[in-house]
Amino acid sequence: MTINVKKILYPTDFSDPSAYALNYAAEMAKLFDAELELLHVMLDESQLVSFYLPQITVQNLAKDMEDGATAKLKDFIANAEVLKGVKYKYTMTKGIADEEIVRAAQASGADLIVIGTHGRTGFEHVLFGSTAEKVVRKAPCPVLTVRKKEED
């Protein structure tokens, strides 16, 4: 059996576990001479809580959040030394993270998803859930979950 990986999807939420997983995604892209697609999923306006604040609308808040996320993604990429020598592109989308990650993998024909995990357990896991776990269950391709060791 030959493993043929030409496209790797790497979703990021800019967290430490996600940044750590980028090392694996980039090294695998180099190893397989694959294209790396970086993806950030933002909440869309319908997921924002509507409330009244003087001089602020949900639309303005959503635009500010999108502008901030775009700047954060560009900064994240600019500071990622591990991306040197890697063919990559980046995209941003809005929606529910696990659903958008699976949708992006399907649309791009990803051969592999590399995703960081926080490693939450117990009550914290029940409360926050696990995007990585949902992606593993629904993904159209293999998923490599990367958890940062405590001593790292």
CATH number for the domain running over 7-120+133-147: 3.40.50.620
If you search the block for the tokens 């409330």, which residue do you land on?
A: 51
Say which residues have a Cβ less than 8 Å from residue 41's Cβ, sequence separation at least 6: 11, 13, 92, 93, 94, 95, 96, 97, 100, 101
State pLDDT tens for residues 115-137: 998 765 555 544 445 889 899 99
pLDDT lower than 70: segments of the chain: 45-59, 119-129, 150-152
* Boundaries of every domain in the chain: 7-120+133-147
| Helix 131-138 × helix 97-108 angle, to 10° | 40
Q: What single letter denotes the amino acid at residue 138? A: K
Q: Is 101 in contact with 49 (CB distance < 8 Å)?
A: no
What pLDDT does 123 receive? Answer: 52
